[in-house]
Structure 1
């Protein structure tokens, strides 16, 4: 599967992952789509390295979509954790003064 297909898959996977990831959505749509693309690419790379399958199975295969959505979900969770720590750290310091 080519890079263009992974980008398209990542756009959709980012939106699906945003619906599945619990918590407040602190990021905008553009960041969600970028994280979705990166997550799909990362998920595809990890899956090909771990399962030794070239290009996963194809664009319309369920395992490809699950891999992309999981990769996007992991990146969205990491992004939410990083941004929530920063925002809570700033308000915690300001309230102590």
Structure 2
């Protein structure tokens, strides 16, 4: 996957995760980073749970969003502590 595609998918996933987890957005650059980290988290967690969503750009966005939501929830818990 090209760098541009990774950045676009990361931005979309981070933005969606910021909408899902209210008050946890980090701006454009932060959302891209959260989305990319979320993609790595989801690529590790989802196969271990036996979840397979097919193969497409839509699947990549959904996977990265799921991972980004997990990362944002963990970050919000750490912030409160």
What is the TM-score of this pair, normalised by structure 2?
Answer: 0.70
Q: Distance in 1 between the 2:15 and 2:41 partners?
A: 16
Shift of 1:3: 5.6
1:57 match: secondary structure:
coil
The residue correspondences of 1:1-80 to structure 2 (distance < 5 A) are: 2=1, 4=3, 5-22=5-22, 24-25=23-24, 28-29=26-27, 30-47=29-46, 49-50=47-48, 57-59=55-57, 61=58, 63-80=59-76
Q: Provide Cα deviations, 1:44-93, integer angstroms capped at 9, x if missing partner.
A: 3444x445x7xx6121x3x33221110010001111110111xxxxxxxx
Structure 1 runs not aligned, ≥5 long = 86-97
Structure 2 runs not aligned, ≥5 long = none
Q: Relative to structure 1, is the Cα distance of residues 35 and 70 closer, same or farther in structure 2, using a 3 angstrom cutoff?
A: same
Q: Distance in 1 between the 2:11 and 2:79 partners?
A: 21
Q: Distance in 1 between the 2:2 and 2:17 partners?
A: 20
Give the length in aligned residue pairs.
Answer: 77
